[in-house]
Structure 1
């Protein structure tokens, strides 16, 4: 099964990750994070498989995150509420999200990609 590459086409980090996948001949299916925002159930699965803290799934440098004042609000929200919020707007999700159904990476770090997807 090809990787699911959940990304936003204008995102420079996504472009770097995509270039890495192509240069390393890694097959992937591209999914537009805004047009096909992952559901709360999909995000819950990604979160559990990633082994990362849920706050890592938030695009903390995004305008939407700042507009909503989430820096101060997340601590008082349940996991359920945070996952529902992420599912409500693809621009709140850190990207790209890459998964093969078992492993998950968030963002793009060449060393993580080499370790996980080569």
Structure 2
């Protein structure tokens, strides 16, 4: 599977991540996370491949997260409900997400990118 990059053009962290990928010659398929978020099935695969807890995929500092009061609601939701919610609005997703079917990075930390994509 090709490397897929989900980011948001106005996001500073996404721009840093994209710059890192470009600077290291990493080829990827780019998706605007707001206009074209991953669907529920794709999200399940990404979460599974990442080995991370599902709550790590929520953009907890985002306006939409606060508007929906998710801090208090996530604990009551099933994983299926969380996946459907994340798939419904890309702005709820922590970004960028970079995945190739086996490896996944969420957010941007240079050391993690080096280990995964370097």
Question: Could you state the TM-score of these two structures normalised by the residue count of structure 2?
Answer: 0.97
| Structure 1 equivalent of residue 117 of structure 2 | 117
| Structure 2 equivalent of residue 88 of structure 1 | 88
Hey, what's the Cα distance between the residues in 2 that align with 1:5 and 1:14? 9
| Residues 24-83 of structure 1: per-residue CA shift (max 9 Å, x gap) | 111111111111111111101101110000000000000000000100100000000000
Hey, what's the Cα distance between the residues in 2 that align with 1:48 and 1:29? 20
> 23-32 or 56-65, which moves further after superposition?
23-32
| Structure 1 equivalent of residue 31 of structure 2 | 31
Q: Where do 1:1-118 residues align within 5 Å?
A: 2-118=2-118
What are structure 2's unaligned runs of at least 5 residues? none
Question: How large is the Cα RMSD of the aligned pairs?
Answer: 0.8
Deviation for aligned residue 1:100: 1.1
| SS of residue matched to 1:95 | coil
| SS of residue matched to 1:27 | coil
Hey, what's the Cα distance between the residues in 2 that align with 1:86 and 1:38? 9
Hey, which bits of structure 1, 4+ residues long, moved more than 4 A?
A: none
| SS of residue matched to 1:59 | coil
| SS of residue matched to 1:115 | helix
Question: Could you state the TM-score of these two structures normalised by the residue count of structure 1?
Answer: 0.97
What are structure 1's unaligned runs of at least 5 residues? none
